[in-house]
Amino acid sequence: MMTFIVSILLLVFGYMVYSKVVERIFGINDRNETPAYKSRDGMDYVPMSWWKGSLIQLLNIAGLGPIFGAILGALYGPVAFIWIVVGCLFAGAVHDYFSGMLSLRHNGEQYPTIVGRYLGKYVRVFIYIISIILMILVAAAFTAGPAQLIAELTPLSFLAALGFIFAYFLIAAVLPVNKIIGKIYPVFGAILIFMAVAIAGALLFTNQPIPNLTMTNLHPESLPLWPLLMVTISCGAISGFHSTQSPIIARTIKKESDGRKVFYGAMVAEGIIALIWAAAGMTFFGSTVGLESALAAGGPAGVVNEISTSLLGTIGGILAILGVIILPITTGDTALRSSRMMLTEFLGKSFKGISGKKKVVFATIPVTVPAIYLATIDYTFLWRYVGWTNQVVATVMLWTATMYLLKHFKFHWICGIPAMFMTSVVCTYIFYAPEGFGMAYQPSLAIGLTLTSFVLAWYIRQIYVHRKEKQEDSASSLAS
């Protein structure tokens, strides 16, 4: 139990201290006019208070991610606590802060456009494609489960429930951000927090103690920690999906100093939620073997329902249903919203002459149709591809932030070190995982680390190039 409590305290302390370090390195200026005022359009650019933005950001980036991912990661045992704390504070929250603040500095630009500014046009095109694919996969993966549960609880068929959900997506997509998202989603964000706090309180008063830290891998199938844990627990540690959501809120922030509370703060809150559900998964079923059996019987949704109902009674059951239905739907909604924004930016000329809500509808339909189709196929297939694609997007965002800091001669290591770490994760994972090349572990590790070394060499070269530019600028200033 002590490991769990210390982990939560570390996340809180990290927010209080390290977030201010990150903010200072980035360099905020509250005199700068934010996109919410500069480009105010009553649709996407609408000023909002920081607390409302924080709750919406938490709901947008979280949904069921820090619940399902943490439960699956709990199969590895208490070592998952380390990854959640370290990953959240030094990688995920830094990633979220820079993705939001760079968007804010560039008038609410979408993630791929920001990537293009600092990593070049070819990377921009690649990340446009992979980001839109990720958004479609997320929308599909996070609506298939709710549709299935609605079909079980109501007279609606699965396809009818799916149609109902996507009809809501289309309606939400064409309405201004402050009409549905701004008014209702903060309430759902509060429900997400209340659900986690209630589970944490119930855990602390159960007879079975929460396991303390051990470096032993407790996975029942002895799957390797590296790099699988880093992909299994993404939301709550680091998730590329967040960089696609941050521009939505970046377009609503009133002043730059709100960014720390909204972007870094929401990620830390998600990390705490992930810690709670990881602890619940490790504790409630007695062992990781018991958790594996529960997952095999009812999947992550069944585990959430069983834990919530048993620990919280009727209220827990209601919260579980709300969580498993509403939270993923809201994630799917904002995934399609951000993909619509990306598509509009990517194909800007194609939408010339189309204005207002017609443009929104025309940009939403091309991403909605494939999402509907994918929602009808095997959920586990979808989730496997979401994981790796998600972490590739996160890695590219960290490199983008690193290049931004290098370009402005700032302390780039706060992004460069986690970027290198995540590079080694995704390079190794794609060769080892069954949805990748499915190679043996040792060769996958060797290839992954070799590819990482090439990226490291590129990074060192970039440091040298920018250092030389700084010296030339200094010499030029002295000469003048």
Residue 419's pLDDT band (cuts 50, 70, 90)? very high
Query: In angstroms, what is the C-alpha Rg of the chain?
Result: 22
In this predicted structure, which of 48-57, 160-169, 219-228, 234-243 has the lowest mean pLDDT? Answer: 160-169
Q: What average pLDDT does this structure show over 111-140?
A: 88
How far apart, in whole angstroms, are the C-alpha atoms of residue 358 and residue 363? Answer: 8
- For 2-381, the fitting CATH number among 3.40.50.1820, 1.10.1370.30, 1.20.1740.10, 1.20.58.100 is 1.20.1740.10
pLDDT confidence of residue 227: 94
User: Is pLDDT of 381 > 70?
Assistant: no
pLDDT confidence of residue 436: 86
pLDDT confidence of residue 208: 72
User: Is pLDDT of 108 > 80?
Assistant: yes
Tokens of 309: 């109902």
Query: At residue 253, what are phi and psi to the nearest 5 degrees?
Result: -70, 135
pLDDT confidence of residue 242: 92
Residue 357's pLDDT band (cuts 50, 70, 90)? low
How far apart, in whole angstroms, are the C-alpha atoms of residue 283 and residue 5? Answer: 14
pLDDT confidence of residue 360: 67
Neighbours of 37 (CB within 10 A): 13
Residue 116's pLDDT band (cuts 50, 70, 90)? very high
How far apart, in whole angstroms, are the C-alpha atoms of residue 430 and residue 394? Answer: 15
User: Is pLDDT of 467 > 60?
Assistant: yes
User: Is pLDDT of 351 > 60?
Assistant: no
What's the pLDDT tens digit per position in 391-406? Answer: 999 999 999 999 999 9
Name the residue among 101, 47, 414, 63 with its Cα closest to residue 263. Answer: 101
Q: What average pLDDT does this structure show over 56-75?
A: 86
Tokens of 256: 């730059």
Q: What average pLDDT does this structure show over 442-465?
A: 96
How far apart, in whole angstroms, are the C-alpha atoms of residue 65 and residue 71? Answer: 10
Name the residue among 3, 429, 63 with its Cα closest to residue 235. Answer: 63
How far apart, in whole angstroms, are the C-alpha atoms of residue 175 and residue 444? Answer: 47
What's the pLDDT tens digit per position in 2-50? Answer: 899 999 999 999 999 999 999 999 999 999 999 999 999 887 899 999 9
How far apart, in whole angstroms, are the C-alpha atoms of residue 78 and residue 98? Answer: 29
Q: How many helices (H) and strands (E) does the chain have?
A: 19, 0
| Three-class DSSP category at 117 | helix
Residue 114's pLDDT band (cuts 50, 70, 90)? very high
How far apart, in whole angstroms, are the C-alpha atoms of residue 18 and residue 302? Answer: 37
In this predicted structure, which of 97-106, 228-237, 340-349 has the lowest mean pLDDT? Answer: 340-349
Tokens of 336: 């399609």
Residue 468's pLDDT band (cuts 50, 70, 90)? confident
Query: At residue 42, what are phi and psi to the nearest 5 degrees?
Result: 75, 0
Neighbours of 464 (CB within 10 A): 10
pLDDT > 90 fraction of the chain, expressed in percent and rounded: 48
pLDDT > 70 fraction of the chain, expressed in percent and rounded: 92
In this predicted structure, which of 83-87, 96-100, 169-173, 431-435 has the lowest mean pLDDT? Answer: 169-173
Q: What average pLDDT does this structure show over 216-225?
A: 90
Name the residue among 373, 399, 418 with its Cα closest to residue 463. Answer: 399
User: Is pLDDT of 175 > 80?
Assistant: no
Residue extents of the structural domains in the chain? 2-381
Q: How far is CA 110 from the centre of its chain?
A: 15
The answer to whether 107 and 341 are in contact (CB under 8 A) is: no
Burial class (CB in 10 A: 0-12, 13-18, 19+), 331: buried
Buried-state track 49-65, b at ≥16 Cβ within 10 A, e below 16: ebebbbbbbbbbbbbbb
Q: What is the mean pLDDT of the chain?
A: 87
Please tell me which residue, 163 or 1, carries the higher pLDDT value: 163
pLDDT confidence of residue 104: 96
Please tell me which residue, 304 or 5, carries the higher pLDDT value: 5
How far apart, in whole angstroms, are the C-alpha atoms of residue 136 and residue 255? Answer: 31
Q: CA torsion 269→3→74→421, rounded to 10°?
A: 70
pLDDT confidence of residue 358: 66
Please tell me which residue, 414 or 367, carries the higher pLDDT value: 414
What's the pLDDT tens digit per position in 256-268? Answer: 999 999 999 999 9
How far apart, in whole angstroms, are the C-alpha atoms of residue 221 and residue 231? Answer: 17
Residue 177's pLDDT band (cuts 50, 70, 90)? low
Q: What average pLDDT does this structure show over 300-328?
A: 78
